[in-house]
C-alpha cells in the first residue's frame, strides 16, 4: 500500500470514527452519506486532560475527522429517518430510507396490523416491523448487498425492535429524558446533512417524500437521541484504550508503526518468590527501594544490575532489554516511562514477578504517519452549571436572557462569559481556542457544528450544565503525529464502545419479559 493510499484510507477511517453518535444512529441513505464526511462528535465536553489531539474531547485533544466530502450537485438526497442506535443485531436489520418503506408498502397489498410481540408491557406491531424491514431492504440494495428473504429480514428487524424497546424502557426508568431543545438540535443536524435549509423544510420533505407524519418522525428521532445518551452513560465511562493497543491499531490500518514508540530500557528485577510471606515481601521491597535510590543517585546501573538483578541472565548484560516498539514491552513499563527522559530511573514497579527498577536508555522515532487533514472550529462558550443552587430551568432562562442581551448589542459575549461562565475558559472570555472534531460531548459538538461563523446557539444542555456557544471561524489543518495517535485512540475507543454496547444491550434484552404473538387467523 502506497503512502498516498494509506493516507486516504486513514482519512476515511477518521471521518467514520468521528461522526457523531447521533448521526450514526440516524439512517442517512447510502447516496447521501459519504464515509469522508466529518460532522464529528463524540468525546467529553469541557476541557479535560489532553488526549494529545484529534476525537477527541476537551481534554484539549480530539478525535479528529476528515474534511467533509462535497456531495454531488445533482438532485437532493431523500431525507432519512432515524436508524436504531447500536444494539445486538446484524447489519441487515439496520434501517433504510422511509421513502423506500412508502414505495414498498404502496406497491403491495396492505397487510393488517396486529401485535407481534410484547416487551414487558409494551407492544411491537406488525406495521412497525414491515416499515423497518422495508427501510432495511432499501438500504441494503443501495449498498449493493443482497437482501435476505423477507421472512428472515423481518425476524431480524423484530429482534432489533425488541432490543430497542427494552433499552428505551430502561432509559425511562433510569431518568434519561430528551427535551425539545435537544430534539431540535438533532433535527437541525439531519437537515444540514441532507442539504436542507431549515427544520421546517425537513418536515415538509418527511411528509412529502416519506409519507410519514412529523410527529412519528420526531418521536423516532427522540428515541435515537435517548439511546445515544444511554450508551454514553452506560458504556463509555468504563472504556480504556492502552498505548500498545493504539500502536497495534495504527499498524493494522496504515502499515506504518506509530512514531516515537521505539524505546530501549534496562531493568533490574528483585524477584518475589511464590508463597512469600508479608515479612519477606517487605524485605525484598526494601532491597528494590535501595537499588532505585542508588541508581537515582548516579551509581552505574549496569553494575547494580549485575549485583542485584534476579532476571534470567542475572544482569550480566547490564539489564538492557533492547530497542523495540512499545507494544513489545509490558504495558506496566510503557505506562511508567512514557513521560520519562533519557537516563531517568523509574520504580520500583510492582508486578507478579516482583519489583522492577527501570532506566530509560534510548527513544527512537520511527516512520512518520501519512498526512491526515481535519476541520477545526474556533469557538467561545458560556457554561452555567446545574445543581442544588441552580436548576436546569433557571440556568436555561438565564442563558436565554444572556443571549438576548448579546444579540441586542447590550453586552458582548466575552464580557458576559467573564462575569457569568462557570468554566475555566471564563478568564479568556469563554475562548475555547481551535477545537477539533470529537473534542466535546455530542450535544455540545452537534450544536457547535450547526452554527455558521458569527452565530450564537440557543441554550444547550449537556451533562456539564447549560451552554451558550458562539462560532468565530473555521479552518482545516494537517494533524501532527501525536494528534494522529489520538485519532487512532478514539477510533479504537469507538470500536470498543460498539462491542461493549452490543454486550450490554444483549444483557438488557435478556432481562426483559418478551412474549411473541402469532398472527391472527
What b/e sequence results for 26-60 when a residue is b if at least 16 CB atoms lie within 10 Å of its CB, and e otherwise? bbbbbebbbebbbbbbbbbbbbeeebbbbbbbbbb
C-alpha cell at 11: 482519512
Q: What's the rounded Cα separation, in Å, for the pair 124 and 444? A: 33
pLDDT band at 335 (very low <50, low <70, confident <90, very high): confident
Give me the mean pLDDT over the 98-111 stretch.
43
Contact 326, 247 (CB under 8 A): yes
pLDDT in tens, 474-518: 998 777 777 777 777 878 888 888 888 888 888 988 899 999 988
Is the model more confident about 155 or about 366? 155
Residue 411 has pLDDT above 90, yes or no: yes
**Percentage of residues of the chain with pLDDT beyond 70:** 74
The class level of CATH for 261-364 reads alpha beta
**Percentage of residues of the chain with pLDDT beyond 90:** 16
Calculate the alpha carbon distances from 172 to 166, 167, 232 in Å. 10, 9, 15
Give me the mean pLDDT over the 39-68 stretch.
33
pLDDT in tens, 268-303: 888 888 888 888 888 888 888 988 888 888 888 888
Give me the mean pLDDT over the 413-431 stretch.
93
Residue 9 has pLDDT above 80, yes or no: no
pLDDT band at 384 (very low <50, low <70, confident <90, very high): very high
- DSSP H helices, 143-267, are 150-173, 180-193, 199-205, 214-234, 243-254
pLDDT band at 456 (very low <50, low <70, confident <90, very high): very high
pLDDT band at 430 (very low <50, low <70, confident <90, very high): very high
pLDDT in tens, 159-178: 999 999 999 999 888 888 88
Q: Return the pLDDT at 110.
A: 57
Calculate the alpha carbon distances from 447 to 148, 380, 398, 423 in Å. 38, 13, 18, 18
Contact 230, 176 (CB under 8 A): yes
Residue 414 has pLDDT above 50, yes or no: yes
Residue 427 has pLDDT above 70, yes or no: yes
**What is the model's pTM?**
0.45
Give me the mean pLDDT over the 432-444 stretch.
84
Q: Return the pLDDT at 57.
A: 35
Give me the mean pLDDT over the 419-424 stretch.
92
Calculate the alpha carbon distances from 143 to 10, 103, 105, 137, 329 in Å. 21, 18, 21, 10, 42
Q: Return the pLDDT at 46.
A: 37
Give me the mean pLDDT over the 117-128 stretch.
89
Q: Return the pLDDT at 425.
A: 92
Task: Give 173's DSSP letter.
Answer: H
Q: Return the pLDDT at 253.
A: 66
Residue 12 has pLDDT above 50, yes or no: no
Residue 79 has pLDDT above 90, yes or no: no
Domain boundaries, the chain: 261-364
Residue 62 has pLDDT above 50, yes or no: no
C-alpha cell at 65: 475527522
Q: Give the 3-state secondary structure of 282-310.
A: HHHHHHHHHHHHHHHCCCCHHHHHHHHCC
Give me the mean pLDDT over the 12-20 stretch.
33
Cell 430502561 locates to 170
The mean pLDDT value of the chain amounts to 74
Amino acid at each position: 500500500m502506497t503512502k498516498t493510499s494509506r493516507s486516504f484510507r486513514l482519512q476515511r477511517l477518521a471521518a467514520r470514527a468521528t461522526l457523531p453518535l447521533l448521526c450514526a444512529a440516524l439512517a442517512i441513505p447510502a447516496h447521501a452519506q459519504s464515509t469522508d464526511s466529518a460532522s464529528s462528535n463524540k468525546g467529553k465536553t469541557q476541557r479535560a486532560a489532553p488526549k494529545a489531539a484529534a476525537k477527541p474531547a476537551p481534554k484539549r485533544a480530539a478525535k479528529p475527522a476528515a474534511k467533509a466530502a462535497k456531495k454531488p450537485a445533482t438532485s437532493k438526497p431523500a431525507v432519512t429517518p432515524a436508524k436504531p442506535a447500536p444494539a445486538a443485531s446484524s447489519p441487515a436489520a439496520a434501517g433504510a430510507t422511509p421513502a423506500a418503506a412508502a414505495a414498498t408498502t404502496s406497491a403491495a397489498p396492505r397487510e393488517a396490523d396486529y401485535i407481534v410481540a410484547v416487551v414487558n408491557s409494551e407492544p411491537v406491531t406488525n406495521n412497525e416491523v414491515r416499515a423497518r424491514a422495508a427501510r432495511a431492504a432499501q438500504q441494503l440494495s443501495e449498498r449493493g448487498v443482497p437482501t435476505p428473504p423477507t421472512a428472515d429480514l423481518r425476524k431480524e428487524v423484530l429482534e432489533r425492535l425488541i432490543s430497542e424497546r427494552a433499552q428505551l424502557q430502561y432509559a425511562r426508568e433510569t431518568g434519561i429524558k430528551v427535551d425539545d431543545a435537544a430534539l431540535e438540535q438533532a433535527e437541525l443536524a439531519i437537515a444540514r446533512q441532507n442539504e436542507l435549509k431549515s427544520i421546517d423544510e425537513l418536515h415538509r420533505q418527511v411528509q412529502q417524500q416519506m409519507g410519514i407524519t412529523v410527529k412519528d418522525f420526531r418521536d423516532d428521532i427522540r428515541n435515537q437521541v435517548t439511546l445515544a445518551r444511554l450508551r454514553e452513560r452506560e458504556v463509555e465511562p468504563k472504556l480504556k484504550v492502552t498505548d500498545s493497543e493504539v500502536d497495534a491499531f495504527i499498524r493494522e490500518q496504515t502499515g506504518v508503526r506509530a512514531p516515537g514508540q521505539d524505546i530501549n530500557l534496562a531493568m533490574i528485577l528483585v524477584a518475589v518468590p511464590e508463597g512469600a510471606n508479608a515479612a519477606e515481601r517487605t524485605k525484598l521491597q526494601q532491597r528494590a527501594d535501595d537499588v532505585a535510590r542508588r541508581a537515582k543517585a548516579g551509581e552505574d546501573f549496569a553494575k547494580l544490575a549485575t549485583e542485584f538483578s534476579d532476571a534470567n541472565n542475572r544482569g550480566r548484560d547490564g539489564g538492557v532489554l533492547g530497542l523495540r516498539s512499545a507494544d513489545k514491552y509490558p504495558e506496566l513499563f510503557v505506562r511508567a516511562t512514557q513521560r520519562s527522559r533519557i537516563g531517568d530511573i523509574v520504580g520500583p514497579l510492582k508486578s507478579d514477578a516482583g519489583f522492577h527498577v527501570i532506566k530509560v536508555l534510548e527513544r527512537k522515532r520511527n516512520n512518520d504517519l501519512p498526512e491526515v487533514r481535519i476541520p477545526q472550529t474556533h469557538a467561545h462558550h458560556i457554561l452555567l452549571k446545574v445543581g442544588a443552587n441552580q436548576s436546569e430551568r433557571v440556568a436555561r432562562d438565564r442563558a436565554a436572557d444572556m443571549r438576548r442581551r448579546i444579540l441586542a448589542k447590550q453586552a458582548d459575549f466575552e464580557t458576559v462569559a467573564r462575569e457569568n461562565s462557570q468554566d475555566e475558559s471564563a478568564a479568556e472570555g469563554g475562548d475555547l481556542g481551535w477545537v477539533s472534531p470529537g473534542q466535546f460531548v455530542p450535544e455540545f459538538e452537534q450544536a457547535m457544528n450547526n452554527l455558521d461563523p458569527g452565530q450564537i446557539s440557543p441554550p444547550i444542555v449537556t451533562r456539564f450544565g447549560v451552554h451558550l456557544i458562539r462560532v468565530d471561524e473555521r479552518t482545516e489543518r494537517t494533524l501532527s503525529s501525536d494528534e494522529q495517535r489520538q485519532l487512532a485512540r478514539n477510533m479504537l475507543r469507538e470500536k470498543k464502545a460498539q462491542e461493549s454496547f452490543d454486550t450490554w444491550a444483549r444483557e438488557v434484552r435478556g432481562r426483559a419479559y418478551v412474549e411473541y404473538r402469532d398472527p391472527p387467523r
